[in-house]
Structure 1
Amino acid sequence: MTLQISRRGKECLKTAQTLPRTAKAMMDQLIAAQLKSLADDYKRRAEKASLDAARDCSIRRSR
């Protein structure tokens, strides 16, 4: 089964991909670690948004 990513998921994923690049440029390692942690959170949000969208779609189809 192919899962399409929702618009909200795409935005979260885009942010999740941008944050590690920003973290690599940081000189302050504490801030870099926080950005990496935030990127992981956005990856989880992207996954959840896609799963929610798929669930909503399947609910609409079953009605």
Structure 2
Amino acid sequence: MTFQQISQRASGYLKTAETLLRAAQTMSDRAIAGHLKAHADDYQRRAEKGPHVDAAKAFVRSAANAEGEWCT
């Protein structure tokens, strides 16, 4: 996964969080608004955490591939 793909994923999560927050602000039902805000918080966490996790996985795959090439 390239850095650009990782950035696009994080950007998508942030856009989704913003959309959920806007929808929550227009809700008259507090329970539904609370659920939307909770989902928005989850997407914000994913946006913050995602690039780090994806980069770590890519590094592990890269290291494993390099090790395999060294052993042959």
Verify same fold: TM over 0.5: yes
Larger radius of gyration: 2
| Matched residue, 1:48 | 49
TM-score of the two chains, using structure 1 as the length reference = 0.73
| Matched residue, 1:17 | 18
Higher helix share: 2
Structure 1 unaligned blocks of 5 or more: none
Structure 2 unaligned blocks of 5 or more: 67-72
Which stretches of structure 1, 4 residues or more, deviate above 4 A after TM superposition? 56-60
Amino acid at match of 1:42: Y
Structure 1 distance, partners of 2:44, 2:24, is 15
Note the C-alpha offset of 1:22.
0.5
Equivalences, count: 59
Contact kept, 8 Å, 1:13 with 1:43, in 2: the verdict is: yes
Considering Cα pairs closer than 8 Å and 6+ residues apart, tell me whether 1 or 2 has the greater RCO: 1
Identity score, percent: 44
